[in-house]
Amino acid sequence: MRKYPLIGLTLHELEDIAIAGNMPRFVGRQLAQWIYGKRVESFDEMNNISRRNREWLAEHYVVGREKPVKKMRSSDGTVKYLFPAGEGRSVETVYIPDKERATLCVSSQVGCKMNCYFCATGKMGFKAQLTAHQIINQILSAGASDGLSDLTNVVFMGMGEPLDNLGEVMKVIEILTAQWGFAWSPKRITVSTVGKLPELKELLDRTSVHVAISVHTADARERGQLMPAQKAFPIASVMKVLSSYDFSHQRRLSLEYIMWRGVNDDIAHAEMLVKLIGNVRCRVNLIRFHAVAGVDLVPCSEERMLMMRNCLNSHGIIATIRASRGEDILAACGMLSTSCKQ
């Protein structure tokens, strides 16, 4: 009999399990505290739950911690993990240390339906949705046995389009931010998306997490060639939705902009981006392109990136050049893929 994992379940679901096992409802809260607060890996460690109840739980369920099957460490300290994702599949997760911060870049799907031309994950095609269990397991298990610093932030910028798996991603956000779960501030979480509507609006209405939008060019025709999602979710429509939300306080909106030589790296593109942003309060992350097999785009020069940054700054838009991390282990932006590991 297959035993169902408890990692990835909400407090309400854990309470239902307790009641089904003829236990008091409060045992569900105890389970949440052990799994998410104390991060135990077995029922035997849950010493405030009776032996009879622990035996019943062990007979029907598993805690559900799964270790990575492989890891690679970059010269810059970045670590890439390979986690099992069911039916012989796997996903990659990236741990990025940076002074007082330790960020985990998590995956939400095996592969991706968005098929962005410049992205290695998109070249895989879509394989499967990850469950809340498989996503939370990345957060609990990455770095757990390596002596790495505790996580300060989680970004949904790994494999997949998070808003194409919104139900499971929302469940993960609930577990991360609830007092019975990780008890994190939502400001420690960023969800990156191509701008999938209406799911983006639901995320904004139901959570307070940071949001990052993959823009890459403000030219609609050009973006459509690079990102097929532009046809269904035009960037102008996405920005119109965003304009009705307040990003002037703690919640942050970022626009992601990979720069390619001769494609989107001139002053005309900078001015188009300024016009697209309008009065929307946001910051722009300028990103170096990392080579992907079968993609004939090339990174632009450092001078072009500085020009773009300075132009945006001169218009009152905060723009920064993101430091590349983990390129030597294929862990940098746009490089995650398990197609050769399936």
Residues 54 and 149 in one domain: no
> How many domains in the chain?
2
What pLDDT, on the 0 to 100 scale, is given for residue 326?
74
Residue 341 lies in a domain: no
Residue 71 lies in a domain: no
Q: Cα(298)–Cα(44) distance, rounded to whole angstroms?
A: 54
Residue 24 lies in a domain: yes
Residues 173 and 292 in one domain: yes
Marked catalytic residue, from 112, 282, 311, 333? 333
CB 171 within 8 A of CB 10: yes
CATH number of the domain bearing residue 56: 1.10.150.530
Q: Cα(133)–Cα(222) distance, rounded to whole angstroms?
A: 38
Residues 185 and 143 in one domain: yes
CB 44 within 8 A of CB 23: no
Q: Does residue 218 have a pLDDT over 80?
A: yes
Segments forming the whole domain that contains residue 250: 77-329
Residue 69 lies in a domain: no
Residues 124 and 162 in one domain: yes
Active site residue 300: no
Residues 305 and 158 in one domain: yes
Within the chain, strands assigned E span 4-5, 61-62, 70-73, 79-84, 90-98, 101-105, 109-111, 126-129, 153-156, 189-193, 210-214, 253-259, 283-288, 318-321
Partnered with residue 93 across adjacent β-strands are 81
Active site residue 119: no
pLDDT band for 220, please (50, 70, 90 cuts).
very high
Residue 72 lies in a domain: no
Marked catalytic residue, from 92, 161, 168, 256? 92
Residues 56 and 81 in one domain: no
CATH number of the domain bearing residue 112: 3.20.20.70
Residues 179 and 32 in one domain: no
Domain boundary among 34, 62, 90: 62
**By percentage, how much of the chain surpasses pLDDT 70?**
96
pLDDT band for 87, please (50, 70, 90 cuts).
confident
CB 119 within 8 A of CB 294: no
> Can you spell out the DSSP letters for 191-239?
EEES--TTHHHHHHHH---EEEEE-S-S-HHHHHHH-THHHHS-HHHHH
Q: Cα(7)–Cα(130) distance, rounded to whole angstroms?
A: 13
Residues 125 and 181 in one domain: yes
What pLDDT, on the 0 to 100 scale, is given for residue 145?
64
Residues 107 and 58 in one domain: no
The pTM (predicted TM-score) of the whole model is 0.94
Residues 246 and 298 in one domain: yes
Residues 13 and 148 in one domain: no
Burial label, 21 (beta-carbon count in 10 A; 0-12, 13-18, 19+):
middle
Residue 162 lies in a domain: yes
CB 254 within 8 A of CB 233: no
Question: What do you get for the CA distance between the two ends of the chain, in Å?
Answer: 26
What pLDDT, on the 0 to 100 scale, is given for residue 148?
67
Residues 135 and 161 in one domain: yes
Q: Cα(330)–Cα(103) distance, rounded to whole angstroms?
A: 17
The more confidently predicted of residues 247 and 341 is 247
Size (the chain), residues: 342
| Mean model confidence pLDDT for the chain | 93
pLDDT band for 143, please (50, 70, 90 cuts).
confident
CB 141 within 8 A of CB 83: yes
**pLDDT single digits (tens) 14-44:** 999 999 999 999 999 999 999 999 999 999 9
Residue 68 lies in a domain: no
Residue 145 lies in a domain: yes
Residue 316 has which token pair? 């009152």
